[in-house]
Structure 1
Amino acid sequence: MGRHSEAATAKKPGRRFILSIIGAVVVVGLVASGVFLWVGGYLNPIFASADSGCAETEQLAIVADPSIAPALAEIAEKFDADPDHCVATEVTAQDSADTAAVVASGGVKIDAWVPDSSVWIDRTNATATSLGQPLPELDVRASIASSPVVFAGAATKATALAAEPVSWARVLGGTLPAILPDPEASAASLAGLLALRGHSSPDDPRQFAGAMIELGKSIPASTGAAFGTVSAAQQPVVVVTSEVQIAAYNLDDPAESLVAAYPADGTVALDYPFVRTEAPVAAESGSAETAESGADAKVELLDALEDSIRESRKTLAAKGFRAPDGTGALDIVGLGAQAPSATAALDGGAEIEILRAWSVLTLRSRMLAVIDVSGSMEEPAANGLRRIDIFQQAAVGAMQKFSGEVELGVWVFSTARNGDLDYEDLSPIAPLGDAAHSQEIAGIIQSLPGRLGGATGLYDTTLAAVQRVRETYDPEKVNSVLLFTDGKNEDENGIDLDTLLAELAKIDDPEKPVPVIMIGFGPDTDLAAMQRIAQATKGAAYSASEPEDLGTVLVDALSQRSCRPNCG
């Protein structure tokens, strides 16, 4: 009766087509209350609809997130089979992120939309505003189902995972290896980040930022790809996902099933709102009166379909969904029968804020690291280690924070290192995903103690570094200079601060920004000069009162890219 695929909606048969069918009748069967026409062995519903009082069949167009589309298609098929409805419902599966973008642009013609989270409504409105479009007229109804955000692990590693309670706190602390599908496209990932932030220390925002940097090092192409990684991993690793996505994976009879690990410190749940468009798709019509009558009929059908969906708890549960209030028992391999404790992830504003932070932290970077190797780096720090020793430790930790897609080059500087030049180019800017390049940089870090000597040629080096990055600028990445120093400019033969600032102003190009991120550590740094340089390049200046603070300062430098040059 009704159709539930992504195929285009069929047009109403024309008179010539119907007459040709009549001419090809093989069997006419009298069935109970009416006459049904059999053609080529199949029951044709055209005349059945007319006989049951349907002048014509109404069309309903529903777009739903792929996680719930199969369940809705099944419910719609039963709904359409009722002869009193005279309707053909087409359920199209489409990622909520894609639908949100289309709705925001004003280019969608549907009767209803079921995304996998209310956050997509906020995303739709934000996108429409950014495009200069009016906010779409949407009637957002209550949720028809829910699904808690959980951790997915390989069934064969379930015992190892259960050895220690899984929790958001362990993800924050780095003791639970986790994979996060792109939250730009996954509501479960975005809600997971909201839960993660809720368990981070309110007194230390770097904890959450550091966790996002770690999760952003390797972003899988999709949730399905992430599930494949979990199954192939040698050690236990989990994917941040929703319970229903695990259900769909296991119901597809994979080679190795997944198990849902429920966060011991609580979680959040995705809601599935039923969203009506304010302008239903109109049937082909002539007069305005006919069109209005058709619209009223469509609204009534949508009301009835929505009620049918809400009453179809068994069908939804069979696909892995809990009730809208989070309750309900499930009987699916890999899932707990009883619902976990979960709060609805309804803080759309907070999730949008987190998404902006994520976008900043995972921007693919192209950096030139410029390292001070002047003689003062030999001096001991408060803990007795030399400044260069502590810098080495921080540098190794920093390398671990970068993904393989980050491009990094290395210079060292003091005074007169390379003839009259204060700087020395030790490694070009190249992807850390290149094993040979990554090993080369690791070797440079280990060799730093043997390179110490001279004074601090800060200003000449800064200008040259900005010029180098600008010469090889990549518009697809964040291009920057990351400069570490323990002192102030001591090159009497080089340029002064005013000259440096004037030269930076000359080469400034708003279309090709090259911010200078200056990190000073130790008691001898000239923070005032660093701040002026940072302001001139729309970068940032940080001071680590103790060399041991370098790792923390680096998280700040990466996480505040969106607020420069006015970071607090």
Structure 2
Amino acid sequence: MSIIGAVAVVALVGSGVYLWVGGHLNPLFASADGGCSEPQELVVVADPTIAPALAEIATDFDAASGDCVATEITAQDSADTAAVFASGNAAADAWVPESSVWLDRMNATATSLGQTAPEVEVRDGIASSPVVFAAAATKATELASEPVSWTRVLGGALPTILPDPEASAASLAGLYALRGHSSPDDPRQFAGAMIALGKSIPASTTAALGALGASDAPTIVITSEAQVAAYNDEEQSEPLVAAYPTDGTVALDYPFLALPEAASSKQTATPEPEAEGVKTRVELLADFEAAIRDDTEALTAAGFRAPDGSGTLDLAGISAEAPAAEAVLDGAAQLEILRAWGVLTLRSRMLAVIDVSGSMEEPAENGLRRIDIFQQAAVGAMQKFSGEVELGVWVFSTARNGELDYEDLAPIAPLADTAHTQQIAGIIQSLPERLGGATGLYDSTLAAVKRVRESYDPEKVNSVLLITDGRNEDENGIALDALLAELKKMDDPAKPVPVIMIGFGPDTDLAAMQQIAQVTKGAAYSASKPEDLGIVLVDALSQRTCRPNCG
């Protein structure tokens, strides 16, 4: 039958009633006519990187389904979802995080909160995306002049921006790959790389990608292939290209996680007799999962590879063929890296107390003076610190400032203040001119702890970093036993001020340093060679949460 402007034919197909509209069968009318009075709702929480593609699939799924279903795709950062679910608020039927590591994070967080983690049925990934180095298209040729690799990132030879791994699975997986290329015999190498990467943490992955065009030197962002595709899809003024690490990479697995308890709790009452054919929420969720796996076109168009890493993409800035990538990552190892990252990037408020006694003039094994070696280590350390670190500088030796053994040269202030940073750099350069006197170790230590306590900032790690090449030589100052008693009296677990002591050279009193460190819950380190100072400093920073019982 023909009707001007539209064609409508009622047909019986199986047991359902369909309305032929505009040249195709529309099952929504059929489901309503078949006894489905209101749609069943499915709620799927998905990482923002894949949520738009899933929303497109959901629209087609709802339209094509005869089960009267309304599928809601809620975009939420995987880290946030992990935290929400861990607290017992798993109000969804399924969750698609960008990586299985967020399931491990959810379970670990639930345990720490004394909660029972929600029951989750882990199903295979629905897509994958390799971790890549994003670069500005205009810098691509210059960047390709040397191999782009994790090894170069590890050594600091390739300027790199790392979005916060606390919020980005691509960043965390990137750190996992980076650790795999570090020396197993020298854990400081990886720790040092993390300190350098944590010096400036961008507000978000989008902010990091947007900063690439403004960089003078070729710079990369550790991210995923899909995030590069999504960024370019927004028609940016400076498009990006994905550079693939020449020494291999890893991939995000996008698992499909069903929450049976949530689905069961939302299940409607027993259907009325006229609605006996209506599916349960669990069945509908299985159907939606199948629809996702069948609709490879939507995921490919969004820049995703197949779950096994295969697939060909036709997107600007992206390689057509997939790189070889390790998709099964060690979740426990990633959480261990995340904990280490949290320690290394803790924002510090530190008073550096530097020995300028006459013995610092003596030569080290390599022919340089001890003070020269310290200058080199100090400059390297300054380059690793974030602008959010607050640093002050004292120098000490006997009768340095009248009757005092210590001299305040720079207040504790943020290194983000250019003038303050330049002031400290000037102090470091002037140290050889300040040498003289004996080692007034104990009085200087006590005064430094008092100074940090006077202006304590509970939002930061407050500490004293004392560097010396000798032992206490101030006979008129406080004795070791009295110093330890004073430090113990001042100790406040709610406001800890650990003293980190670094001694170098053959004359250091390591036993006394260890006692001071123990009573303040700090640490004492001995650099057998002065040139090891930089390495020891990485240890001092990386072991902050295990003191005083670091292995």
TM-score (norm 2): 0.94
Residue 346 of structure 1: how far off its partner (Å): 2.4
Residue 108 of structure 1: how far off its partner (Å): 2.7
What amino acid does structure 2 have at the position aligned with 1:180? L
CA RMSD between the two structures: 2.2
What amino acid does structure 2 have at the position aligned with 1:424? E
Cα separation, 2, equivalents of 1:478 and 1:213: 15
Q: Is contact 2:349–2:463 with CA below 8 Å preserved after alignment?
A: yes
In the superposition, relative to structure 1, how do residues 379 and 294 fare at CA in structure 2: closer, same or farther (>3 Å)? Answer: farther
Secondary structure of 1:145's counterpart equals coil
Partner of 2:420: 437
How many equivalent pairs are there?
536
- 1:350 maps onto 2:333 in alignment: yes
- 1:454 maps onto 2:416 in alignment: no
Within-5 A mapping of 1:402-413 = 402-413=385-396
Cα separation, 1, equivalents of 2:505 and 2:191: 25
Cα separation, 2, equivalents of 1:83 and 1:324: 25
- In structure 1, runs of 5+ residues without a counterpart are 1-26, 39-43
In the superposition, relative to structure 1, how do residues 331 and 508 fare at CA in structure 2: closer, same or farther (>3 Å)? Answer: same
What amino acid does structure 2 have at the position aligned with 1:497? L
Cα separation, 2, equivalents of 1:490 and 1:109: 66
Cα separation, 2, equivalents of 1:286 and 1:328: 43
Cα separation, 1, equivalents of 2:178 and 2:77: 24
Per-residue CA distance 1:177-218 (angstroms, 9 max, x = gap): 100000000000000000000000001111100000000000
Cα separation, 2, equivalents of 1:252 and 1:396: 41
Q: Is contact 1:368–1:465 with CA below 8 Å preserved after alignment?
A: yes
Cα separation, 1, equivalents of 2:191 and 2:6: 72
- 1:80 maps onto 2:80 in alignment: no
Partner of 2:14: none
Cα separation, 1, equivalents of 2:107 and 2:217: 42
Q: Is contact 2:271–2:278 with CA below 8 Å preserved after alignment?
A: no
Q: 1:560 aligns with which of 537, 543, 546?
A: 543
Q: Is contact 1:247–1:335 with CA below 8 Å preserved after alignment?
A: yes
- 1:474 maps onto 2:452 in alignment: no
Q: Is contact 1:49–1:56 with CA below 8 Å preserved after alignment?
A: no
Q: 1:32 aligns with which of 5, 10, 24?
A: 10
In the superposition, relative to structure 1, how do residues 496 and 296 fare at CA in structure 2: closer, same or farther (>3 Å)? Answer: farther
Cα separation, 1, equivalents of 2:114 and 2:477: 50
Per-residue CA distance 1:276-316 (angstroms, 9 max, x = gap): 112234558556999xx999611111111111111111211
Within-5 A mapping of 1:288-437 = 297-437=280-420
- 1:106 maps onto 2:84 in alignment: no
In the superposition, relative to structure 1, how do residues 168 and 469 fare at CA in structure 2: closer, same or farther (>3 Å)? Answer: same
Secondary structure of 2:182's counterpart equals coil
Cα separation, 1, equivalents of 2:314 and 2:478: 74
Per-residue CA distance 1:44-98 (angstroms, 9 max, x = gap): 9986542255343211111100111111111111111124232111111111011
Partner of 1:543: 526
What amino acid does structure 2 have at the position aligned with 1:197? R
Secondary structure of 1:220's counterpart equals coil
- 1:225 maps onto 2:210 in alignment: no
Within-5 A mapping of 1:94-243 = 94-243=76-225
Residue 496 of structure 1: how far off its partner (Å): 1.1
Runs (4 or more) in structure 1 with deviation over 6 Å come to 287-290, 293-296
- In structure 2, runs of 5+ residues without a counterpart are 12-16
* Fraction of identical pairs, as percent: 74
Higher mean displacement: 558-567 or 366-375: 558-567
Residue 32 of structure 1: how far off its partner (Å): 3.3
In the superposition, relative to structure 1, how do residues 295 and 567 fare at CA in structure 2: closer, same or farther (>3 Å)? Answer: farther
Partner of 1:534: 517
Cα separation, 1, equivalents of 2:396 and 2:101: 49
Q: Is contact 2:260–2:282 with CA below 8 Å preserved after alignment?
A: no
Q: Is contact 2:28–2:65 with CA below 8 Å preserved after alignment?
A: no
TM-score (norm 1): 0.91
Q: Is contact 1:280–1:298 with CA below 8 Å preserved after alignment?
A: no
